[in-house]
């Protein structure tokens, strides 16, 4: 595993710190607090103060307070740090998460940008459809009190395997050591770092060494599919062994089962021919709708429930509980045309490290698109069968796209080669 260096220079860039301030102070209550008003009164001064706290190598958290949060069936104790400490950690993890993401396998999710429950659910449904004989049985597991059980020394060792930058390691160690035992549930850094821990001890062991075809992880919940029960019991033993190496414990209710019984995972129950919403989620919504009388609040709840049911086969359920018929947007015939005539590309934004040494199809482009870093060219491309958009300021790339459009050669296939600039940034060339 190669280790990343010079990350701290990306973290202390003005744009990154300003983004962290906007993210943390997006809520009105935080903006009106004493600390929030102090920061917003002189943002450049706050940016410089935060930069010096990060770059000095002497960053310390200023303590924390605890609160109890009712998270559905669980009651959790979470920790909260000061507003400025939260901004510092947000600025740090904005960059750290970006570097971590390229190391994670594609079927791991939770607290990863553009990878949520619905993204992972699509992979499971697709794999069951494409490989019915290889997904007859499932093995599910969960880690006991994951955040509270994380061994701080092992987590810090995982960080040192990933990064060289001593200042960054010092900041992350301060976050890891904040609690007497385990890691904080409420800290911005805990999610990404714990994902790194399980990526090293579980994900890459199962995918790289054991070549497990159908493996999915959402934070500390995991699922493996196979056509053989015997194989799944073997994988189960490996997962338990790897958990022990990380000083973690798998819950005793882990089980191997035929998927016709239903895979209760990610808030849905998935079977070979359909997907349903988890019973607890249906009941929770029905009880809320029964109690709420406000029309506006009922509309908000209905919209939220639609966001859940549209990813499953739940048209009848949605109608029964809301009295509204669910329709797909493509069936409504609405088509928006921007007044300025400029193109609006769909698909998630993709960064340069994710394009290195990849083959793509360049579909379209739009030049002089305003961004916070100046005007950029936006490239609409296809990678692994999915549409993506890539922002670049490279004149060479714009020249290639304009030439291809002029000659009627759009779309075209290209290979992405990466070049590291003097600032340590990756520049992509289409070849």
What separation in angstroms does the CA of 360 have from each of 119, 299, 381, 413?
Answer: 21, 42, 7, 6
The token duo for 354 is: 């994710």
Selection from 174, 15, 179, 145 nearest residue 85 by Cα: 174
Whole-structure pTM value: 0.73
- Give the pLDDT confidence score for residue 200 in this predicted structure: 95
Q: Please give the pLDDT value at position 88.
A: 93
At 172 the pLDDT is: 94
CB 259 within 8 A of CB 138: yes
Residues 6+ apart with CB under 8 A from 92: 11, 54, 168, 171, 172, 189
Distance from chain centroid for Cα 105: 12
Of the candidates 166, 216, 207, 175, the residue with the CA atom closest to the CA atom of residue 194: 175
d(CA 104, CA 120): 13
Q: What is the pLDDT of residue 142?
A: 94
294-306 burial: b if 16+ Cβ within 10 Å, else e: eeeeeeebbeebe
Residues 379/401, Cβ–Cβ less than 8 Å: yes
137: enclosing H helix or E strand: strand 137-142
pLDDT block averages, 10 residues each, the chain of length 431: 80 92 88 88 92 89 82 76 91 92 90 87 94 96 94 95 92 93 90 94 95 94 96 97 96 94 94 92 90 85 86 88 72 60 79 87 88 86 86 89 86 86 80 85
CA 214 to chain centroid, in Å, comes to 20
Which pLDDT score is estimated for 423?
72
First to last CA, the chain: 27
Decide if 101 contacts 112 (C-beta within 8 A): yes
Q: What domains can you pick out in the chain, each with its CATH number?
A: 7-105+114-272 (3.30.70.270), 275-331 (no CATH), 348-430 (2.40.50)
């Amino acid at each position: 595993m190669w280790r990343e260096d010079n990350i701290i220079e990306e973290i202390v860039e003005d744009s990154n710190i300003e983004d962290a301030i906007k993210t943390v102070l997006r809520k009105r209550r935080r903006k009106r607090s004493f600390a929030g008003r102090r920061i917003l009164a002189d943002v450049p001064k706050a940016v410089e103060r935060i930069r010096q706290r990060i770059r000095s190598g002497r960053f310390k958290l200023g303590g924390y307070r605890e609160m109890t949060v009712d998270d559905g069936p669980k009651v959790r104790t979470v920790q909260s740090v000061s507003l400025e400490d939260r901004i510092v950690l947000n600025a740090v993890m904005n960059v750290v998460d970006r570097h971590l993401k390229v190391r994670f396998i594609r079927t791991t999710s939770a607290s990863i940008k553009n990878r949520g429950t619905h993204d992972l659910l699509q992979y499971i449904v697709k794999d069951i459809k494409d490989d019915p004989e290889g997904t007859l049985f499932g093995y599910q597991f969960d880690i006991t009190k994951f955040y509270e059980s994380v061994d701080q020394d092992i987590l810090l060792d995982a960080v040192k395997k990933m990064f060289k930058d001593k200042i960054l390691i010092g900041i992350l160690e301060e976050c890891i050591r904040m609690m007497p035992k385990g890691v904080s549930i409420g800290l911005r850094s805990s999610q990404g770092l714990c994902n790194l821990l399980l990526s090293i001890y579980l994900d890459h062991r199962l995918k790289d060494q054991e070549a497990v075809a159908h493996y999915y992880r959402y934070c500390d919940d995991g699922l493996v599919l196979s056509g053989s029960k015997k194989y799944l019991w073997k994988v189960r033993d490996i997962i338990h062994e790897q958990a022990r190496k990380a000083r973690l414990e798998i819950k005793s209710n882990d089980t191997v089962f035929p998927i016709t019984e239903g895979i209760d995972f990610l808030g849905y129950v998935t079977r070979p021919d359909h997907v349903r919403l988890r019973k607890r989620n249906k009941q929770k919504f029905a009880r809320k709708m029964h109690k709420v009388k406000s029309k506006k609040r009922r509309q908000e709840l209905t919209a939220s429930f639609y966001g859940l049911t549209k990813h499953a086969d739940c048209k009848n359920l949605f109608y029964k509980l809301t009295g509204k018929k669910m329709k797909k947007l493509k069936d409504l015939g609405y088509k928006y045309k921007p007044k300025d005539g400029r193109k609006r590309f769909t698909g998630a934004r993709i960064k340069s490290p994710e394009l290195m040494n990849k083959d793509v199809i360049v579909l379209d482009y739009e030049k002089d698109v305003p961004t916070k870093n100046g005007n950029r060219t936006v490239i609409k491309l296809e990678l692994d069968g999915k549409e993506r958009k890539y922002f670049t300021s490279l004149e060479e790339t714009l020249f290639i796209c304009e030439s291809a459009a002029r000659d009627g050669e759009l779309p075209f296939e290209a290979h992405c080669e990466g070049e590291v600039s003097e600032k340590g940034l990756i520049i992509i060339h289409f070849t």
